Chains A and B, each alone.
Chain A
Amino acid sequence: MKKVLVLLASIFLITFFAAGAAVAQETVKIGYCAPLSGPSAAWGLPGLEGVEIWLDKVNNDGGLKVGNKTYKVEIVKYDNEGIGSKALLGSRKLVEEDGVVAMLMLGGATSAAAQPYLTKKKIISFVLIASDIKKDRPYLMDVTDNFPTYHLLHTEYIAEAHPEAKTAAIICQDDEIGTAAIAWSEAGFEAAGIDVVYSKPFGVETTDFAPIVTAALAQKPAIISTGASYPEFQALILEQAYTQGWKGIVTSACWDFKAITAKVPDGWMDGAISGFPDFDDPKLTPEHNEFWKAWQAKFPGHSFSEIVWEYSAALDVWAYGAQLAGDVKPEKVYKALKGAKSVPHSFGQAQWWGTEVFGIDNLLVPTWPITEIKNDKPHIVAQKSLLEWLAKPGNKEILDKYLVKWKMK
C-alpha cells in the first residue's frame, strides 16, 4: 500500500513539475522602434505584418528553441514617428522598462539619435539602412536590406537594358537616407556612363512638389530616380512627373507601389526598375511563396513591399544567431553572428562586408535581384552582386569620389 502511494505521489509530482516547466516558458522580448505614422510610416508600419506572420509560425511551433530552453518571442512596438528624439525615448523605454534583447529599427536619423544609448547598453540594432553602419556603433548591423548599395546594381542594369537612356535626375529628400541614396545613385550612374543632370535634395517639410519636379524636368532627364524618398513623397513626385508631361524610365529603391498607382494612370509605371520582387515570383524559393500565401491570407488587399518581410527577415537572422550561440543574451548573439563566415539571408547565403566603406563589416551582402514592372507588377529580370560590381576596374574609385562629395566618408 505504501509503495503504491509513493508511486502515485511521484507520478503526480513529476507531472506537476513537467507541466510547470512547460507552462513556465520564458519570454524573450524584442523591440520594434520604427515610424508607425508620419511620412515614413510606409517604411515601418507594414513591417509589423511580416513580424506577425513570423511570430505566428515560431510561437505556434511551441516557441523558439535556444540552447536547452524554449522561448516565447514577443515584440514590443514603439512609434517614433520618424523623429530622432522620440526614437531615443522609445529605445530607453524598450530597454529599461521592457527589457528587450534586440531592436528592430528602420535606420536613418531616428536610429542615429538612439545609437549612443544603445551602443552603451550593448543592444543589437537591426536596421534597414546600410549607411548607418559606423565603427563607433559595433552593435548596429544591417542583415536584410542592402540600401543604398543596390543603387549601383540598378543603374548598371538600366545601362545594359536601355543603352539609349543617357541622362538621369535624382530627386530625394535632404536627410541621411536621402543623401545616401543620392550619393550611391550618382556613383552608379557615372560608372554606367549616364550623366546625372539633377541631384538637388529637397526639404523634408515640402508639401508641394510641383516646383521641384519642374526644376528637375527642365534638365530633360531620360531617367528619374526617386532613390529613397519617403514613400508618400515618391507618389507625389511621380504624379507631378506624369502631369507635367514626362515619360521615361523610373527607378527607385523603396516605394509604396499602391500609393503611386493611385496617382498615375494604369501602366504608366511599366518598365520601372527596382530590387524587390513580390514573394509569389516563380524565381524565388518555396519558403518565399509560403510567406506570400500566409501574408495574403492574413492581410488581404494590403500593399506588398519589401518592408513587409524585411523586419521579420532580421528576426530570422537574430534567431539564427541565438541558436548558434545557444543563448539570447545580446553580446553572445552578436559574437555568434559576427563569427559566422556566411549567414543565411532571405536571398541566399550572404557575407559580412563593409569595412572599406563603413569602417566595420556589419552589412550582410547576398546576390540581389533586379525587378522590372510589367502590367503593374514587379518581375525578376536579373541577379547582380555588389562584390562583382566593386571588382570592376575604376568602379571603387568612382564610389569613393561620390561618398566624399556627399560627406559620407
Chain B
Amino acid sequence: MEFIGQTILNGLMTSSFYALIAVGLTLVFGVMHIVNFAHGEFYMIGAYTVWVLYAKMHWPFFLAVLAALIIVGLLGFLSEHLIFRHAKGNVLSGFIMAVGLVFVLQTAVVKIWGVGKMKPVPAAYPQLLDFGGISTSWQRFIVIPVTILLLGALWFFLDRFRLGRALRASALNPEAAALQGISVKKSASTALLIGSALAGAAGALMAPIMSVHPYMGHAVIWTAFVVIIVGGAGNIKGTVLASLLFGFLTTIITTLLDSTIANLVNVLVMLVVLAIRPQGLTGHAEH
C-alpha cells in the first residue's frame, strides 16, 4: 500500500514538472508556430539562476525562483526580438535558429561557470512531509502547488486580459487577428516571454532536486516534445492532460522496469499518435 501511495506521489510530482515545462513550449508553438528547441536551455538558465542567487548569494529561495522567472522571461523576450522574429513562421527555420541559440547558451554557461562537477544546490525545504507512511521532502512537493498556481495564473491571463485574449486570437487565426488590429508581433513576444518564464520557473524549482549542469536541458526537451505532440501542439488543455499521462507512465515504468524502457515507451507512444492522430489527443486538425 505504501509502495502504491509513494508511486502515486512520485507520479504527481513528475507530472507537475512536465506540465510546467511543456505548457510554455506549447504556448509558444501555438502563437508563433515556432518550436523553441532552446526551451531546455531556458530551463537550465532558470536552474543556474537559483544556484547563483540562492546557493551562492544566499537569497531566500522563493525570491530566487521569482528572479529566475523574470530573468528567463526577459531572455525569451529578447530571443524573439533578435532571432525568432526572422523565421517568419517557418517551422524549420525557427527550429534551426533555436539550435543555434542552444549552442550559444550552453557555451556561454560553460565559459562563465565552467563544466565539470555538477553544481550542488542545497534543499531549501528539506523537512520531511509524511502522509501516513508515504514520505517525501517539502522541496519536492512544492512543485505541485507552484505549478497549479502558475498555470492557473496563465489561464486567468489568457481568459480575462486583453493581451491574453489577443494571444489566443493570434494563435487561432493570425490573419483575422491582424485585421482586428492585434499586433501579431506583440503576441509573439508575449508568448515567448511567458513560455520561457515558465521554463525558467521549472528549472528554478528543480535545481535543488536534479543535477545542475550546462547540458541539463537536453534531458527534458525531448520529453517536453513528446508531451506536447501527444497533447496537441498549441493546445494547453491537451498538454496538461498529456503531462499527467506521461508523468505517471514514466514513473510507473521506471519503478517497475527502468528509465531507458520508460523513454522508449514514451517515444513509441508519440510515434503511434503521430501516425494515427497527428493532431494529438485533443488538438484541432492541422490547417
Question: For residue A207, which residues in chain B have a CB less than 8 angstroms away from its CB?
Answer: 210-211, 216, 219
How many residues from B make CB contacts under 8 Å with A? 37
Cα separation A236 to B137 with both chains bound (whole Å)? 13
Contact (Cβ within 8 A) A243 B136: yes
A42-B117 in contact given A174-B258, A214-B3, A244-B136 (Cβ < 8 Å): yes
B residues 242-261 with Cβ under 8 Å of A? Answer: 251-252, 254-256, 258-260
Which stretch from A98-106, A259-267, A310-318 is at the chain B interface? A259-267
Contact with B along A190-232 (1 / 0, CB 8 A): 0000000000111101111011101100100000000000011
A408 touches B (CB below 8 Å):
no
Contact (Cβ within 8 A) A211 B254: yes
Contact (Cβ within 8 A) B254 A208: yes
Contact (Cβ within 8 A) B116 A205: no
Cα separation A245 to B130 with both chains bound (whole Å)? 9
Question: For residue B2, which residues in chain A have a CB less than 8 angstroms away from its CB?
Answer: 218
Contact with A along B220-253 (1 / 0, CB 8 A): 0000000000000000000000000000000110
Tell me the nearest residue of chain B to A40, going by C-beta: B117
B10 touches A (CB below 8 Å):
yes
B266 touches A (CB below 8 Å):
no
B residues 1-44 with Cβ under 8 Å of A? Answer: 2-3, 6-7, 10, 13-14
Task: State how many angstroms separate the Cβ of A241 from the closest Cβ of chain B.
Answer: 11
Main secondary structure of the interface of A (DSSP, over half): loop
A121 touches B (CB below 8 Å):
no
A250 touches B (CB below 8 Å):
no
Contact with A along B138-166 (1 / 0, CB 8 A): 00100000000000000000000000000
Contact of A215 among B122, B137, B255 (CB under 8 A): B255
Cα separation A387 to B217 with both chains bound (whole Å)? 47
Contact (Cβ within 8 A) B263 A205: yes
Contact (Cβ within 8 A) A243 B7: no
A210-B13 in contact given A205-B259, A263-B122 (Cβ < 8 Å): yes
Tell me the nearest residue of chain A to B214, going by C-beta: A37
Question: For residue A201, which residues in chain B have a CB less than 8 angstroms away from its CB?
Answer: 258
B96 touches A (CB below 8 Å):
no
Cα separation A208 to B13 with both chains bound (whole Å)? 11
Task: State how many angstroms separate the Cβ of A82 from the closest Cβ of chain B.
Answer: 12
Question: For residue A208, which residues in chain B have a CB less than 8 angstroms away from its CB?
Answer: 10, 14, 210, 254, 259
Cα separation A214 to B256 with both chains bound (whole Å)? 10
Cα separation A37 to B109 with both chains bound (whole Å)? 13
Cα separation A176 to B6 with both chains bound (whole Å)? 31
A210-B140 in contact given A36-B116, A262-B122 (Cβ < 8 Å): yes
Contact (Cβ within 8 A) A263 B10: no
Question: For residue A36, which residues in chain B have a CB less than 8 angstroms away from its CB?
Answer: 115-116
Contact (Cβ within 8 A) B117 A45: yes
Contact (Cβ within 8 A) B219 A259: no
B120 touches A (CB below 8 Å):
yes
Contact of A41 among B116, B121, B128, B259 (CB under 8 A): B116
Cα separation A256 to B251 with both chains bound (whole Å)? 27
> Which among A200, A206, A256 has the highest number of chain B CB atoms within 10 Å?
A206
Task: State how many angstroms separate the Cβ of A210 from the closest Cβ of chain B.
Answer: 5
Question: For residue B215, which residues in chain A have a CB less than 8 angstroms away from its CB?
Answer: 38
A293 touches B (CB below 8 Å):
no
B108 touches A (CB below 8 Å):
no
Question: For residue A42, which residues in chain B have a CB less than 8 angstroms away from its CB?
Answer: 117
Question: For residue A214, which residues in chain B have a CB less than 8 angstroms away from its CB?
Answer: 3, 6-7, 10, 255
A30 touches B (CB below 8 Å):
no
A84 touches B (CB below 8 Å):
no
Contact (Cβ within 8 A) B258 A202: yes
Question: For residue A244, which residues in chain B have a CB less than 8 angstroms away from its CB?
Answer: 6, 135-136
Contact with A along B174-214 (1 / 0, CB 8 A): 00000000000000000000000000000000000011010
Question: For residue B172, which residues in chain A have a CB less than 8 angstroms away from its CB?
Answer: none
B123 touches A (CB below 8 Å):
yes
Contact (Cβ within 8 A) B210 A37: no
Cα separation A121 to B252 with both chains bound (whole Å)? 48
Contact (Cβ within 8 A) B118 A212: no
Contact (Cβ within 8 A) A256 B117: yes
B126 touches A (CB below 8 Å):
yes
Contact with B along A163-195 (1 / 0, CB 8 A): 000000000001000000000000000000000
Q: Nearest 5 A-B pairs (CB), nearest first?
A: A211-B255, A243-B137, A37-B115, A262-B120, A203-B259
Provide 14 A-B residue pairs closer than 8 Å at the C-beta atoms, listed in order of the A residue: A37-B116, A38-B215, A202-B258, A205-B260, A207-B210, A208-B14, A210-B10, A210-B13, A214-B3, A214-B10, A218-B2, A243-B135, A262-B122, A263-B123
- Beyond the given A42-B117, A258-B120, A259-B120, please list 4 additional residue pairs across the A-B interface where CB-CB is below 8 A: A202-B259, A218-B2, A245-B135, A263-B122
Measured CB to CB, the residues of A under 8 A from B are 36-39, 41-42, 45, 174, 200-203, 205-208, 210-212, 214-215, 218, 231-232, 235-236, 239, 243-245, 256, 258-259, 262-263, 265
